[in-house]
Amino acid sequence: MAPHDNGSMTSRHTGRPRFAALGLAIALLGGCGALPSVGPDYQTPDTPMPAAWQTGTPAAGKPRDLSRWWQQLDDPLLASLIDEALSGSLDLKAAQARLQQARASRNQAAGDYFPTIAASGRASSNRQGEVINPNYVGTTYTAGFDASWEIDLFGGTRRSVEAATADQAASAASLNNVRVSLVAEVALNYVDLRGYQRRLAIAAENLASQGETLQITEWRNQAGLANSVDVEQARANFEQTRATIPDLEIGRDQAENRLALLLGRHPGLLHDRLVAYKSLPAVPASIASGIPADILLQRPDLIAAERTLAAETARVGQKMAARYPALSLSGSFGWEAFSFGALSGAGAVASATAASLAATVFDGGRLRSAVDVQSAVQAQALIAYESGILTALEEVENALKAHAGARERLNARQAAADAARNAAQMGQLQYESGLTDFQKVLDTQRTRLTAEDNLSTAQSTLLTSLIKLYKALGGGWEQPVATQDTAEGKPS
């Protein structure tokens, strides 16, 4: 093409087709949200729920009390440890990273709503053929923008964003589920630690009492009031009690190290705060059990399963949209000239627009099979959700029954421990007065140790059953209010 005097190339115009394509793009931009989306529209499954729990609960509290249930235990150190775990747990940080990934994936999917625009610039040197002008060497300068956009005619992008939004919500619920488990694990290990400390104190108390009995028996043997068999039996009783202490110390140290891990700390860093013995936390009189239907909103694992089902349902529509024709628009706008300074001239403007409609005519059933595969995945997600509900109901019922049984067991253990203490005291006094043989003393001391150890275990079990019940109910997190845009799957 021969150069003009102003050094610019002739601009190329597409005329009416360009304006027609531009008008179509504007119309589609305005009406894209009103276009139909193929595939099933998700609806939350209507799952029948029992009207009440089979096992009654004492003075049931309000469901909102579940969010920070550990405060009802009236133990400031436990509350402090839980707060530190919620900020330092590595498992929780990993779940937070997964939620960030889900958010980024949703934003990535929403990016398909908009056109892709690229900028380019180029300078090229060229020589004309010898027949035309053997002495001419010129440089061509070009700069401009290219844009492409696939119109979401049948809702493939909308379904993709809908699925990604549901995935984000499922990831957020999974994060809350980690919180529920983390809070419960901290509380359980704290109770284990205090329980072992209590059992160690009981063992030490009984060991001291048995040591006194051994000394008295040795004195009586020296005075001829007892034989060597009594001495050896007293020593055997003393050593058997002393042999239980290392196992209790191991259990205590393991619970302490486990707490450090849950808080994201090195083993031993919590020792100074936990070494002093404290009594077990108080057990509240009421339980915020609510009704069975509440667990659908309280348990984050069920919320995650329900949102996963919503995501898989949306992906069915996404796969179906791939079977329909795709409309794409493309265009370019730029400048082209034989000199860099001439690029700004009106005569250097060059533009082009194009629209294309493409459809798959034959693929051997691949796209149809993709829909069938996703439909099967959706069916599995529905089954997983329904199964999760049944499992949750079972866990709560079992936890309620275990807690009720733990209360009854504790009352019986308390009565047995009181009786065993009285029997041990009377047996010791009768032996010292010569009213009974030494075997009675040994028997009552063994019974006392066993009864007091069982009482301590029953106290820990009652608290453990309460913690497991709150975990089964989904306690330990507060449900945030979802924004309308997030709920509807609109791009952010």
Confidence tier at 33 by pLDDT (50, 70, 90): low
The domain ranges of the chain are 39-114+154-324+365-488
Q: How does the average pLDDT of the chain come out, rounded?
A: 83
CA–chain centroid gap for 274, Å, is 28
* Per-residue pLDDT at 487 exceeds 70: no
Task: Report the residue count for the chain.
Answer: 492
CA–chain centroid gap for 224, Å, is 71
Sign of CA dihedral 409, 414, 419, 424: positive
Q: Give the C-alpha separation, 24 to 21, whole Å.
A: 5
| 131-146 average pLDDT score | 63
Lowest mean pLDDT among 62-66, 283-287, 441-445, 463-467: 62-66
Confidence tier at 288 by pLDDT (50, 70, 90): confident
Q: What is the CATH number of domain 39-114+154-324+365-488?
A: 1.20.1600.10
CB 343 within 8 A of CB 335: yes
| Tokens describing residue 149 | 């956009």
- pLDDT of 142 reads 72
What beta strand segments (E) does 317-429 contain?
Answer: 326-337, 349-358
| 258-276 average pLDDT score | 94
* Per-residue pLDDT at 325 exceeds 70: yes
* Per-residue pLDDT at 15 exceeds 60: no
Confidence tier at 253 by pLDDT (50, 70, 90): very high
Q: What share of the chain is helix, strand, coil (3-state, %, to 5)?
A: 65, 10, 25
- pLDDT of 271 reads 95
Model confidence over 185-214: pLDDT tens digits? 999 999 999 999 999 999 998 899 889 888
Query: Which residues touch 17 (CB under 8 Å, ≥6 apart)?
Result: 353
Task: Tell me the HSE value of 409 on the side-chain side, using a 13 A CA sphere.
Answer: 18
Model confidence over 384-407: pLDDT tens digits? 999 999 999 999 999 999 999 999
Residue, of 484 and 215, whose pLDDT is higher: 215
The predicted model scores a pTM of 0.82
CB 62 within 8 A of CB 288: yes
H/E run at residue 239: helix 228-262
- pLDDT of 115 reads 82
